[in-house]
């Protein structure tokens, strides 16, 4: 499937009911955004949609963005850029990765899609939003369309506002994982007055609150910080076991960085009476499954159980 074939039409909608025993007549469904596209799935499709349209409108031939070693965003930009006729450049956190591309499933895939890399130190990477650093990149790479780390900007939020549609009006709560805040901002802006949006940050800390407030026009939302499992990119044997058991029971694959942590959080909140009786809850599956291969490489090296989400 070509990205531009999907790009040209409205993605299909699939809300899959999760058949598990829940108290208080609570029902849970999951919106399978991960099925939009095999390589540009979930929120990455949504975030890139209007950014690529804008890049074309500006007659820009190159996309430049930022990411880490196993970034879903890097993989998605590389593939979408290839299919849409853009040159792509990835500024990658960690100069030690320069000779490890073939060992890294995400970077290897992005390179095969034609992405050029510039590996920078973690100290340099922290300057990614500074004008002086951006200017230095323009001197090296000439003109490009800049997509922020994680893809979050106003155009990305516009795309994420399209996640919720008319088929979602029945839900009382909409839940999603939170990385840079773009997806939840779009959901908040498109949620109906009777719906509350819950975000489950994958990172430690509460710094995203103010960032999200700059993009949204509603107060019917909340960030729940208790389910990051140690921080961004961190997993535990318990989380891996949950992912594998959940797949066996539902046939729904979850990624360990974002969606799995959100699902654990929602189910735990249900058991602890956070939700009123008869609540109808919608979970947003934001994709990210390409990162499972990289995570399994790390788990194997640590002699830990692997994530098994394929029959």
At 271 the pLDDT is: 94
List, for residues 34-52, the tens digit of each pLDDT value: 999 989 989 999 999 999 9
At 31 the pLDDT is: 95
Instruction: Give CA–CA dist 149/157, Å, rounded.
Output: 14
Instruction: Give CA–CA dist 6/4, Å, rounded.
Output: 5
Average pLDDT over residues 196-208: 90
List, for residues 161-170, the tens digit of each pLDDT value: 999 999 999 9
Put the strands of the sheet holding 280-284 in their side by side order. Answer: 15-17, 27-31, 280-284, 173-178, 196-201, 221-223
Element (H, E) at 87: strand 87-93
Instruction: Give CA–CA dist 246/309, Å, rounded.
Output: 9
248 burial type by CB count under 10 A (0-12 exposed, 13-18 middle, 19+ buried): exposed
User: Looking at the predicted structure, is the pLDDT value of residue 1 above 50?
Assistant: no
List, for residues 110-137, the tens digit of each pLDDT value: 999 999 999 999 999 999 999 999 999 9
User: Looking at the predicted structure, is the pLDDT value of residue 6 above 60?
Assistant: no
Average pLDDT over residues 81-91: 96
**C-alpha Rg value of the chain to the nearest Å:** 19
User: Looking at the predicted structure, is the pLDDT value of residue 8 above 60?
Assistant: no
What integer best gives the mean pLDDT of the chain?
92
59 burial type by CB count under 10 A (0-12 exposed, 13-18 middle, 19+ buried): exposed
List, for residues 217-235, the tens digit of each pLDDT value: 888 999 999 999 988 889 9
100 and 297 Cβ atoms separated by less than 8 Å:
no
Tokens representing 51? 């950014």
Instruction: Give CA–CA dist 193/42, Å, rounded.
Output: 24
User: Looking at the predicted structure, is the pLDDT value of residue 108 above 70?
Assistant: yes
Spatial CB neighbours of 272, under 8 Å, sequence gap ≥ 6: none
User: Looking at the predicted structure, is the pLDDT value of residue 259 above 60?
Assistant: yes
List, for residues 243-252, the tens digit of each pLDDT value: 999 999 999 9
Put the strands of the sheet holding 145-146 in their side by side order. Answer: 116-120, 87-93, 62-67, 145-146
Phi, psi dihedral angles at 186 (to 5 degrees):
-65, -40
Phi, psi dihedral angles at 39 (to 5 degrees):
-120, -25
Instruction: Give CA–CA dist 50/158, Å, rounded.
Output: 8
Helix (H, G, I), strand (E, B), or coil: what is residue 17?
Answer: strand
Burial 22-43 (b: 16+ CB within 10 A, else e): beeebbbbbbbbbbbbebbbbb
At 11 the pLDDT is: 57
Average pLDDT over residues 52-75: 96
At 282 the pLDDT is: 96
User: Looking at the predicted structure, is the pLDDT value of residue 97 above 90?
Assistant: yes
- Between the alpha carbon of residue 137 and those of residues 74, 150, 264, 277, the distances in Å are 17, 18, 40, 54
């Amino acid at each position: 499937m070509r990205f531009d074939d999907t790009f040209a039409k409205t993605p299909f909608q699939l809300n899959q009911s999760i058949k598990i025993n829940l108290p208080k007549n609570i029902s849970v469904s999951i919106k399978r955004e991960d099925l939009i596209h095999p390589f540009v799935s979930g929120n990455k499709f949504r975030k890139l949609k209007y950014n690529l349209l804008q890049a074309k409108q500006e007659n820009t031939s190159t996309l430049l963005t930022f990411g880490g070693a196993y970034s879903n965003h890097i993989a998605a930009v590389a593939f979408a850029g290839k299919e849409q006729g853009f040159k792509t450049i990835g500024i990658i956190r960690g100069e030690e990765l320069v000779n490890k591309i073939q060992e890294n499933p995400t970077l290897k895939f992005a390179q095969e899609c034609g992405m050029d890399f510039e590996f920078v130190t973690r100290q340099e990477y922290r300057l990614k939003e500074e004008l002086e650093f951006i200017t230095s990149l323009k001197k090296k790479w000439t003109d490009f369309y800049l997509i922020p780390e994680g893809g979050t900007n106003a155009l990305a939020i516009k795309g994420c506002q399209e996640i919720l549609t008319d088929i979602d009006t029945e839900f009382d709560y909409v839940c999603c994982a939170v990385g840079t805040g773009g997806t939840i901002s779009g959901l908040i802006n498109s949620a109906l007055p009777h719906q509350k949006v819950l975000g489950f940050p994958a990172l430690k800390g509460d710094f995203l609150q103010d960032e999200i407030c700059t993009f949204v026009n509603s107060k019917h939302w909340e960030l729940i910080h208790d389910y990051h499992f140690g921080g961004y990119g961190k997993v535990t044997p318990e989380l891996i076991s949950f992912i594998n058991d959940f797949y066996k029971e539902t046939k729904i694959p979850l990624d360990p960085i974002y969606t799995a942590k959100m699902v654990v959080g929602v189910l735990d909140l249900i058991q602890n009476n956070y939700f009123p009786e008869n609540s109808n809850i919608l979970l947003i599956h934001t994709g990210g499954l390409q990162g499972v291969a990289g995570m399994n490489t790390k788990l194997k090296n640590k002699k830990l159980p692997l994530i098994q989400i394929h029959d």
